Amino acid sequence: MLRQIVLLLVASVMLIACSEQTTKFNTVHEGQQELRNINNLLSNQNEHSKVTSWPFSESYLQARHLAYKGLQETELTDSQRAQLNYMIIAERYPERYFVWPIQRDVISNARLQGDFSEQGLAAWLELVETRLIAAEQSNLKLNKIELTLLHNMVTAHLNNNDNHVQTALNKLNQYLTQYKPRTKLGLVGLANGKDWYQSKLNYFSGVTKPPLDWLSEIQQALKQPHSADFLLPLTDSHTKPLVMSYFTQEHQHDGFDWQLEFIDPLQNKRELSEGEQYFWQVMMETDMGIHYHTWSEQQARVNLMKRLGLDQQQADWLIEDIVLYPAMSFIFVN
């Protein structure tokens, strides 16, 4: 009995020690570099380095969490702290179930790394499928745009020389072929999706305000006389959110989010012309329509084409950007 008590006490001490574990950084730059290392397979930089951890694996989630805790102890600007708090809040939400962020070609990035392992890739592909199955059981599903983009990514890599990777890809492909996406495009279609969207609105806008208040304010602004003269810098992919085309190219401030190339968006947005301001107001309205008011793809398309004079292809590209990068348009709310 005494031996069991001692063992329990030792285990408790070990658990406490693990829970208090953190990664120590002397500077913000060290913490940012650690996040770059952790997210190297989600980077657009194509840097040749070691595979620190596969995206959204258990080791990835643990390393990222410890890095966030370590950054909390460094000297941050108000803007950096706001972004870090936003990312810590995001850990509560179901992002971890969607292991393959469809904005990035993880397989191609992995093959560039110095310690690339076919076995590691095969195991990660199995994790992608396993987590999607677990997500379905929790009523968390990809929408049809996300499903199409992910399925296209998988089929692009089907011809693989390694048997284990080929087997995993074929199995994932078969699973996605029969997958039934959720009917709602926006975050509102996920469990706790409205709360997740609200946290994004709060961060990117810099203001805590209910979505209905935002919608009323935006639609009132859209009633005012406006100029629709704007340049639409669309690309052939979504590896970067459209908002980054409207960032300043000089004196960029460091951030912590791989989706934004580790740039602080609130410190790097540039001044907009009158036409650009109108464009982003329409994007905010459509963003809220999709992610909060359950707009269909057709409703969003009609709104964008009517207000901006776009063709269907342009409107569909913008819808994909809104789906993949919720609430980022609110960076330009002011």
DSSP code string of 68-103 = HHHHHTS---HHHHHHHHHHHHHTTSGGGG--S-TT
Contact 256, 32 (CB under 8 A): yes
When pLDDT is averaged across residues 183-192 and rounded to a whole number, the result is 94
In tens, the pLDDT along 133-182 reads: 999 999 999 999 999 999 999 999 998 778 999 999 999 999 999 999 99
Give the model's confidence band at 120: pLDDT under 50 very low, under 70 low, under 90 confident, else very high: very high
- Would you place residue 236 in the very low, low, confident or very high pLDDT band (cuts 50, 70, 90)? confident
pLDDT for residue 21: 65
**pLDDT, tens only, 302-318:** 999 999 999 999 999 99
Q: Answer yes or no: are the C-beta atoms of 154 and 200 closer than 8 Å.
A: no
The residues, any chain, with a CB within 8 Å of residue 37's CB and separated by 6 or more, are: 49, 52
pLDDT at 51: 63
Q: Where are the beta strands (DSSP E) in the chain?
A: none
Give the residues across from 143 on adjacent strands: 182
Predicted local distance difference test score (pLDDT) of residue 6: 36
- Say what the pTM is: 0.89
Residue 69's pLDDT band (cuts 50, 70, 90)? very high
Q: What local confidence, expressed as pLDDT, does residue 61 receive? A: 97
Would you state the pLDDT for residue 14? 43
Mean pLDDT for the chain?
Answer: 89
Which among 111, 112, 190 has a CA at the least distance from the CA of 146? 190
Number of H helices, E strands in the chain: 14, 0
Whether 13 shows a pLDDT value over 60: the answer reads no
Mean pLDDT of 63-89: 96
Position 65 scores a pLDDT of: 97
1, pLDDT greater than 90: no
Q: What is the pLDDT of residue 10?
A: 39
Could you tell me if 95 and 135 are in contact, meaning their C-beta atoms sit under 8 angstroms apart?
A: no
323, 186 Cβ separation under 8 angstroms: yes
For the cut 60, the answer to whether the pLDDT of residue 241 exceeds it is yes
User: CB of 290 within 8 A of CB of 323?
Assistant: yes
Counting Cβ atoms within 10 Å, is residue 233 exposed (0-12), middle (13-18) or buried (19+)? exposed
What per-residue confidence (pLDDT) applies to 226? 78
C-alpha 134/C-alpha 191 separation (Å) is 14
pLDDT reading at 2 higher than 50: no
Yes or no: say if 145 and 323 are a contact pair by the CB < 8 Å rule: yes
> Can you give the pLDDT at residue 22?
67
Mean pLDDT of 266-275: 91
CA–CA gap between residue 44 and residue 98 (Å, rounded)? 19
The per-residue pLDDT for 15 is 42
Predicted pLDDT of residue 331: 96
